[in-house]
Structure 1
Amino acid sequence: MKAILAVDDSRSLRQMVNFSLKSAGYGVTEAADGVEALALANQRQFDLVLTDQNMPNMDGLTLIRQLRQLPGFARTPILMLTTESSDDMKAQGRAAGATGWIVKPFDPERLIAVVKKVIG
């Protein structure tokens, strides 16, 4: 089973992502912010990281940059799942190492389709 780390400060959004992805056969671990996500990433490997941008303690771009420093996450797909949709923010995401971008509110079917495309 492919393991996904879902990072968002909104509990309801994490639950929606978790439900959508588990129903498609993925294992999901939740983190409330970048600090918690980084701690989890230091403990185990994930096949994909889905992260919000605007979170307390550590935002999504900082999390991506930190994850890319870890040997096990140099090539791990990281998708931004965020309300941020400006070209400037997307460019910053790419520069930080984001693999892709999904704008909230998201369609669960589209999320699953993107995840399948990225990690199978």
Structure 2
Amino acid sequence: MTPSTVLVVDDSELVHKLHAVALRKYEGCRLLHAYQGAEALELLGVHPDVDLVLLDVNMPVMDGLSFLRARREMGVFEEIPVVLISTEASEDDVRRGLEAGATAYLAKPFKPPELLALIDRLTGPAARHREGSQGVTGR
């Protein structure tokens, strides 16, 4: 299964454009855009068909970790895989991200094929048979 709807959450318009270019691989994939965590939670409420969230860590108003904690506290959208993306990629950063509820952590900078391989693992046929969160890190 390829993702049909991906929510990109980042405060950088350039990052939104870069993800859009990379995700062209998935023909017919619809992208939704949010620029901070609270906006992403609202969009998920309106678009329950989201297959995957690409989430930046550092954003104004509600950052990525706060988004993950709010999602967990609300008990909603937890079945949707979330790739946490950040330039901060120490072992502690990755651990905090996964503990907050990210499915995977991808360190910036990364190459588009790395992102696409991770998306394929999280949304492909094997992903449907997995139980619980799997921490996958880039680099």
Q: Which residue of 1 aligns with 2:85?
A: 81
Question: What letter is aligned with 1:33?
Answer: Q
Whole-Å separation in 1 of the counterparts to 2:73 and 2:32: 21
Seen in structure 2, the aligned counterparts of structure 1 residues 70 and 47 have a Cα distance that, compared at 3 Å, is farther
Aligned to 2:132: none
**Higher helix share goes to which structure?**
1
Q: Percent identity at matched positions?
A: 37
Using the alignment, how far apart are the partners of 2:25 and 2:13 within structure 1? 18
1:24 positional shift: 2.6
Q: Contact between 1:24 and 1:112, CA under 8 Å: does it hold in 2?
A: no
Q: Show the 5 A alignment for 1:1-120.
A: 2-25=4-27, 26-45=29-48, 46-120=50-124
Offset at 1:71?
Answer: 4.9
Q: TM-score, normalised by structure 2?
A: 0.79
Gaps of 5+ in 2: 125-139
1:67 is displaced (CA, Å) by: 2.2
Letter in 2 for 1:5: L
- Which region of structure 1 is more displaced relative to structure 2, 61-70 or 75-84? 61-70
Alpha-carbon deviation of 1:70? 4.7
**Structure 1 unpaired stretches of 5+:** none
C-alpha contact 2:98 2:105 (8 A) present in aligned 1:
no
What count of residue pairs does the alignment treat as equivalent? 120
Q: Look at both structures and tell me which one has the larger radius of gyration over its CA atoms.
A: 2
**TM-score under structure 1 normalisation?**
0.91
**Once superposed, what is the RMSD of the aligned Cα atoms?**
1.5
- Decide which moves more: 53-62 or 69-78: 69-78
TM-superposed CA distance for 1:9, in Å, is 0.6
